[in-house]
Amino acid sequence: MPSHASDAAFRRHAATRDVLVIVEDAMLRELIAAHLRHQGHIVLPAGSAADACRLINEVQPDLVLLDGDTASARDATLATLLQGSDDDRSIPLVLLQSGAVEDDNLAPRLRVAKPYRPQALADAVHRLLQAGQAAMRTPLPTAGRLRAGTLELDFEMRAVQRLGATPTRWADLAPTELRLLQHLLQHPDRTHSRAELVDAVWGVGAEVDTRTVDQYVRRLREALATVQAEAALKTVRGVGYRIDQSATHADA
Helix (H) or strand (E) segment spanning residue 37: helix 26-38
What are the angstrom distances between the C-alpha of 123 and each of 4, 114, 115, 116, 119? 23, 15, 15, 12, 6
Q: Which fold, 4-134?
A: Rossmann fold (3.40.50)
pLDDT surpassing 60 at residue 11: no
- Residue 70 neighbours by CB distance under 10 Å: 17
The better pLDDT of the pair 247, 106 is held by 247
Parse the chain into domains and list their residue ranges.
Answer: 4-134, 145-251
Please give the model's pTM, rounded to 2 decimal places.
Answer: 0.55
Q: Given a cut of 50, is residue 88 above it in pLDDT?
A: no
Q: What is the pLDDT of residues 188-222, one digit of tens each?
A: 999 999 988 988 887 766 667 788 899 999 999 99
When pLDDT is averaged across residues 10-16 and rounded to a whole number, the result is 39
Q: Please give the Cα distance from 111 to 212 (Å, whole number).
A: 9
> For the chain, how far is it from start to end, CA to CA, in angstroms?
60
**Cβ-contact 94, 128 below 8 angstroms:** yes
pLDDT band at 134 (very low <50, low <70, confident <90, very high): very low
Percent of the chain whose pLDDT exceeds 70: 79
Topology, domain 145-251:
Arc Repressor Mutant, subunit A (1.10.10)
